[in-house]
Amino acid sequence: MTGNDLPGALAGVRVVELAGEASAYAGLLLAGMGAEVIVVEPPDGHHTRGFEPFLHDEPDPERSLWWWHYNASKLGVTLDLGDEDAQDRFRSLVATADVVLESERPGRLAELGIDHDTLRADHPELIWVSLTPFGRSGPRSQEESIDLTVLAAGGPVWSCGYDDHAIPPQRGGGNQGYQTGSVFAVLSAQTALLARDHTGQGQFVDVNMHAAANVTTEFGSVQWLVAGDEVQRQTGRHAAIEPTTFTRALSADGIDVNTGFPPRSARDFAVVVEWMESLGLKDQFEEFFFLEMGAQLEEDLHLSQVGQDPEVTAMFGAAREAVRLISENITAYEFFIGAQERGLAVGIIYSPEEVLADPHFQERGFPVEVEHEDLGRSFTYLGAPYIAPKSPYRIRHRAPHLGEHNSIIEALA
Amino acid sequence: MKSEALSHIRICDFTGQLAGAGATRWMAAFGAEIIRIEDPVRLGKWDVLRGTSPFVDDRRGHEFGGCFNNHNVEKLGVTLNLRTERGKELLAEIIAVSDAVTENFAAGVLERLGFGYDRLKEIKPDILYVSNCGFGHIGPYRKYKTWGPIVQACCGLTFTSGLPDMPSAGWGYSYMDHHGGNFMAMAIMAGLIHRSRTGEGQWIDMSCTDAGANMLGPVALDYTVNGRPLRRDGMPYSNRNQFPAMAPHGIYEADGHDAWLALAARDDRDWQAIAGLMGIDDQRFDDLAGRLAYEDELDDAVRAWSSGRDRFTAAAELQAVGVPAAGVAKPEDRIDNDPNTEAWGLWPTVTHGEMGRVRVDGIPAHFSETDWVLERGGPLLGQHNRQILGGLLGHSDSELTDLAAEGVI
């Protein structure tokens, strides 16, 4: 499917990345697209090498799976940026780069004399992407911040949680505040590269994680901006102005499913009738009559009539309950496949590891094996976000050991 | 005024909703010419957001969808009836002068309209074609239907949000519609960069569920390497933190209706600052191992302090002693009362042909040389027919009048 020997879209682009918790995902994506990403860390290792989980739970700078994941496809060098000699080497390294990516605290690099103003002065074609919690100059730019507080201050947390508002709102997993910032850092680097194609000029880009979270909340922002309405969180479904009906059900094997929108067309009602009958559920469902009635509809049900017109309300409610009853009588996977094959949009609520075992993701080549020749074996990693046959996104090799590619900077001395 | 960054790029765009429209939105903000093709017969309603809430006032219809305006700022709108031969010819003319064709229809729809990748290549051999749907165009689920919550369920994201022994809280909005759009923009720009280096077009098959699954790295490796699934007793517990472990790390009750405070101790120094501020004196909490072992008790102690305090005042007190903390922002807090979003210019006002002046989402990056510009609202149906079909393609006014009369545009 993908020509694995082909170079990526960013082949020939050199990125110098200062190792950082928030920007690591941006570097990973750029490297996956084929850029040569050189990650710079202190001589005793970046602190993220100390992040769990570890290979076989044995803490070691070379065994952090966090480091493995986020630094795959990158080259690694070590420099003590507090040291003047190393600062010179960093300047020389940056002089060979197309893009610098960093997530340092605003002001730190200026103190060291290696900030974008200093280094871009001699290299106007250089693109410098900075990723910080609140941007480099805003009134909150010096706040202490982590993924949790980015998402809390930026809007996502307000929209996530449970119907019961005595339970705290929830922060979704996977460092999505950092990663959302990183995604915008990648878009910024690509945009600046395309701009340089025709202007010849590089530039400085200030990416703001708090702003990134703010404009990634869909209705949470748009409802307020357009109509001045405040959305309210609900269990497993969109935060909304008015409460919406459940979309979650527990399948026979104890795995949750998302039951989607209830049927509204004659075709969808007919599908539910057929499915109920084939599962032998018809006799235990007292409202079956309303499903058959729905199968005779000449026009789709209008949501605005639910709660107004008694027949519409009964048909709509029966369809919703029927789908739930089906889901409770079969496994989550049978429900997902059975519904989708019948043209009903529902989902299975997979745990992340279960995605890798799914036949669809396998056929797309999503799980990939990455060789760890140092350990004499390979491990399964997450693959490409899209399939680009002529310029494939792929993991090129395992993450670098500490200082593994220091020959790159030694050659510059 | 336009940004110069992508002003050399033109896209023939069929995207809609957010998962597609979000991709070309970014590019439009940076000056790309995005020509949005819509169906005059169905009033552009393939994109249901054209006519759905929120609304600025009592007016309803296909020119009043608040989300449509938000997601399609700075784009051009052209109507073409692709059921007609003339409509297909005009589309081919637009494709012939475009760098890319983009769409997020269900798999196979553009091909059924007569514009599959082979046809696109006939029209323009180096065209970049980027398709985007929930499961992509390859694989057994390619025909399955999705929208944000279904994508999030199937890629593992929904499961990561919630409390032990509770149903998944999930994401209370279409997080993956945003990132479906963002990853699609990434795919488009990667394809354009490849094309400018090699002269080669291609068909990039973007799948929102692949993109979503890509965002769950360390937890997936914990399974593939260590055999430890996230579906296990006591997990997930998403307000706590696994990688790296921190305690306290959570969202705590504050004073007021549905008011909450987020805070964490990244290390022992943070903890000592928190303990000093809150007056917590308990040796069990002195090191991380102890704080993790007694995390429920620790959370109770933090809550005893936070529950009587205003969330923003409490966050400021914690920030003053160097601890990461933030009040959980409601929409009004972050949109109307946050000095940082205001200083950033995060909520620009655009002018829409019917709705008038409306605030929209800005862009979370500022460029020193070619910054984004968002001034024009989403296009009215066929608003730029004359500009594109006349100005760009050179059809005369009388021809356009005839095309309108024949129901082609």
The 10s digit of each residue's pLDDT in A261-284 is 889 999 999 999 999 999 999 999
Contacts of B126 in chain A (CB under 8 A): none
Provide CB contacts within 8 A for B283, sequence distance 6+.
B290
Q: Of the candidates B253, B236, B241, B239, which has an alpha carbon nearest to the alpha carbon of residue B167?
A: B236
- Residue A305: per-residue pLDDT: 85
Contact A144 B30 (CB under 8 A): no
pTM over 0.90: yes
3-state secondary structure chain B: CCCCCCCCCEEEECCCCCCCHHHHHHHHHCCCEEEEEECCCCCCCCCHHHHCCCCCCCCCCCCCCHHHHHHCCCCEEEECCCCCHHHHHHHHHHHHCCCEEEECCCCCHHHHCCCCHHHHHHHCCCCEEEEEECCCCCCCCCCCCCCHHHHHHHHCCHHHCCCCCCCCCCCCCCHHHHHHHHHHHHHHHHHHHHHHHHCCCEEEEEEHHHHHHHCCHHHHHHHHHHCCCCCCCCCCCCCCECCCCECCEEEEECCCCCCEEEEECCCHHHHHHHHHHHCCCCHHHCCHHHHHHCHHHHHHHHHHHHCCCCHHHHHHHHHHCCCCEEECCCHHHHHHCCHHHHHHCCCCEEEECCCEEEECCCCCEEECCCCCCCCECCCCCCCCHHHHHHHHCCCCHHHHHHHHHCCCC
Backbone angles phi, psi at A169, to 5 degrees: -60, 160
Q: Which residues of chain B have pLDDT under 50?
A: none
Task: Name the helix (H) or strand (E) containing A363.
Answer: helix A359-363
- CA torsion, points B91, B92, B93, B98, in degrees to nearest 10? 90
Encoded tokens for A310: 């008694």
Query: Mean of the pLDDT values across residues A163-189?
Result: 98
Alpha-carbon distance B154 to A258, whole Å? 9
Range of the domain at A159: 14-217+364-410
User: Does residue A5 sit within a domain?
Assistant: no
Is-contact B62 B381, C-beta < 8 A? yes
Contact B153 A183 (CB under 8 A): no
Q: Is B85 exposed, middle or buried (0-12, 13-18, 19+ CB in 10 A)?
A: exposed
Q: Are residues A175 and A31 part of one domain?
A: yes
Q: Are residues A142 and A92 part of one domain?
A: yes
Q: Are residues A162 and A25 part of one domain?
A: yes
Hey, which residues does A371 pair with through a beta bridge? A378
3-state secondary structure A253-279: CCCEEECCCCCCCHHHHHHHHHHHHHC
pLDDT at residue A307 greater than cutoff 90:
no
- Residue B41: per-residue pLDDT: 96
- Residue A261: per-residue pLDDT: 85
Find which of B173, B235, B260, B361 to mutate to test the A interface (most A CBs within 10 Å of its CB). B173
- Residue A281 touches chain B, beta carbons under 8 Å: no
Q: Give the Å distances, CA to CA, from B81 to A10, B85, B91, B409.
A: 38, 9, 9, 6
Q: Which domains occur in chain B, in start order? A: 10-214+342-405 (3.40.50.10540), 249-253+260-327 (3.30.1540.10)
Q: Are residues A145 and A19 part of one domain?
A: yes
Using the 3D structure, point to which of A348, A379, A399 is the last residue of a domain.
A348
Contact A238 B191 (CB under 8 A): no
pLDDT at residue A118 greater than cutoff 70:
yes
- Residue B1: per-residue pLDDT: 82
Distance from CA of A310 to the nearest CA of B (A): 25
Prior bond of B54 cis (ω within 30°): yes
Q: Above 0.95 for ipTM, yes or no? A: yes
Q: Are residues A368 and A327 part of one domain?
A: no
Q: Summarize pLDDT for A329-346 with one digit per residue, the tens.
A: 999 999 999 999 999 999
Contact B173 A33 (CB under 8 A): no
Is-contact A151 A213, C-beta < 8 A? yes
User: Does residue A230 sit within a domain?
Assistant: no
Task: For residue A47, give the DSSP letter.
Answer: G
User: Does residue A233 sit within a domain?
Assistant: no
Q: What is the total count of domains within chain A?
A: 2
- Residue B160 touches chain A, beta carbons under 8 Å: yes
Measured in whole angstroms, how far is the alpha carbon of residue A51 from the centre of its chain? 19
Q: Are residues A369 and A342 part of one domain?
A: no
Is-contact A236 B173, C-beta < 8 A? no
Q: Name the residue type at position A383.
A: G
Measured in whole angstroms, how far is the alpha carbon of residue B337 from the centre of its chain? 23
Q: Could you tell me which chain B residue has the CA closest to the CA of A228?
A: B332
Provide CB contacts within 8 A for A410, sequence distance 6+.
none
Hey, which residues does A128 pair with through a beta bridge? A100, A204
Q: Is B254 exposed, middle or buried (0-12, 13-18, 19+ CB in 10 A)?
A: buried
Q: List the single residue in B186, B216, B328 with the smallest CB-CB distance to A174.
A: B216
Find which of A68, A158, A238, A351 to mutate to test the B interface (most B CBs within 10 Å of its CB). A351
Q: Give the Å distances, CA to CA, from A37 to A87, A99, B105, B297.
A: 19, 9, 34, 44
Q: Are residues A404 and A311 part of one domain?
A: no
Q: List the single residue in B4, B179, B328 with the smallest CB-CB distance to A157.
A: B328
Q: Could you tell me which chain B residue has the CA closest to the CA of A369?
A: B224
Q: Could you tell me which chain B residue has the CA closest to the CA of A218?
A: B173
HSE toward the beta carbon, residue A123, CA cutoff 13 A: 21
Q: Are residues A205 and A89 part of one domain?
A: yes
Distance from CA of A287 to the nearest CA of B (A): 27
User: In the predicted model, what is the mean pLDDT of chain B?
Assistant: 97
User: In the predicted model, what is the mean pLDDT of chain A?
Assistant: 96
Residue with tokens 């149903």: B167
pLDDT at residue A238 greater than cutoff 70:
yes
Is-contact A22 A181, C-beta < 8 A? yes
Contacts of B343 in chain A (CB under 8 A): 137-139
Q: Are residues A320 and A378 part of one domain?
A: no
Contact A258 B153 (CB under 8 A): yes
- Residue A303: per-residue pLDDT: 80
Residue with tokens 């599908």: A271
Q: Give the Å distances, CA to CA, from A87 to A10, A100, A103, A404, B124.
A: 27, 15, 17, 19, 49
- Residue A123: per-residue pLDDT: 95
- Residue A200 touches chain B, beta carbons under 8 Å: no
- Residue B331 touches chain A, beta carbons under 8 Å: yes
Q: Are residues A151 and A269 part of one domain?
A: no
Q: Of the candidates A378, A340, A377, which has an alpha carbon nearest to the alpha carbon of residue A358?
A: A340
- Residue A368 touches chain B, beta carbons under 8 Å: no
Encoded tokens for B261: 């405070």
- Residue A58 touches chain B, beta carbons under 8 Å: no
- Residue A6 touches chain B, beta carbons under 8 Å: no
- Residue A3: per-residue pLDDT: 52
Is-contact A291 A324, C-beta < 8 A? no
Contacts of A53 in chain B (CB under 8 A): 218, 221-222, 225-226, 228, 242-243
Q: Is A52 exposed, middle or buried (0-12, 13-18, 19+ CB in 10 A)?
A: middle
Q: Is A260 left (phi over 0), alpha (psi -120 to 50) or beta?
A: left
- Residue A2: per-residue pLDDT: 43
- CA torsion, points B336, B337, B342, B347, in degrees to nearest 10? -20
Contact A51 B187 (CB under 8 A): no
Contacts of B264 in chain A (CB under 8 A): 146, 148-149
Contact residues, B window 255-294, toward A, CB-based 8 Å cutoff: 258, 260, 262-264, 266
User: Does residue A182 sit within a domain?
Assistant: yes
Task: Name the helix (H) or strand (E) containing A409.
Answer: helix A407-410
Q: List the single residue in A247, A347, A360 with the smallest CB-CB distance to B139.
A: A360
- Residue A68: per-residue pLDDT: 98
Contacts of A237 in chain B (CB under 8 A): 149, 170, 172
Q: Name the residue type at position B56.
A: V
Task: Name the helix (H) or strand (E) containing A15.
Answer: strand A14-18
Q: List the single residue in A29, A152, A218 with the smallest CB-CB distance to B328.
A: A152
Higher pLDDT, A78 or A2: A78
- Residue B11: per-residue pLDDT: 98
Contact residues, B window 22-61, toward A, CB-based 8 Å cutoff: 26, 30, 53-56
Hey, which residues does A125 pair with through a beta bridge? none
Q: Could you tell me which chain A residue has the CA closest to the CA of B232?
A: A351
Encoded tokens for B151: 């994508």
Distance from CA of B55 to the nearest CA of A (A): 6
Query: What CATH number does the domain containing A121 carry?
Result: 3.40.50.10540
Alpha-carbon distance B292 to B214, whole Å? 29
- Residue A147: per-residue pLDDT: 98
Q: Are residues A272 and A340 part of one domain?
A: yes
Encoded tokens for B238: 């998403």
Alpha-carbon distance B130 to A58, whole Å? 43
User: Does residue A173 sit within a domain?
Assistant: yes
- CB contacts < 8 A, A to B, total 528
Provide CB contacts within 8 A for A142, sequence distance 6+.
A105, A106
Q: How confident is the model at residue A4 (pLDDT cuts 50, 70, 90)?
A: low
Query: Mean of the pLDDT values across residues A247-253?
Result: 94
Strands, sheet with A248-250, edge to edge from the N-terminal-most edge strand: A248-250, A256-258, A347-348
Q: List the single residue in A191, A208, A347 with the smallest CB-CB distance to B344.
A: A208
User: Does residue A224 sit within a domain?
Assistant: no
- Residue A1: per-residue pLDDT: 40
Contacts of B229 in chain A (CB under 8 A): 351, 353-354
- Residue A260 touches chain B, beta carbons under 8 Å: yes
User: Does residue A227 sit within a domain?
Assistant: no
Contact B225 A379 (CB under 8 A): yes
Q: Are residues A388 and A302 part of one domain?
A: no
Task: Name the helix (H) or strand (E) containing A371.
Answer: strand A367-372
Contacts of B135 in chain A (CB under 8 A): 360
Alpha-carbon distance A319 to B171, whole Å? 25
SS3 for A179? helix
- Residue A119 touches chain B, beta carbons under 8 Å: no
Hey, which residues does B253 pair with through a beta bridge? B260
Contact residues, B window 79-118, toward A, CB-based 8 Å cutoff: none
Q: Could you tell me which chain A residue has the CA closest to the CA of B206?
A: A386
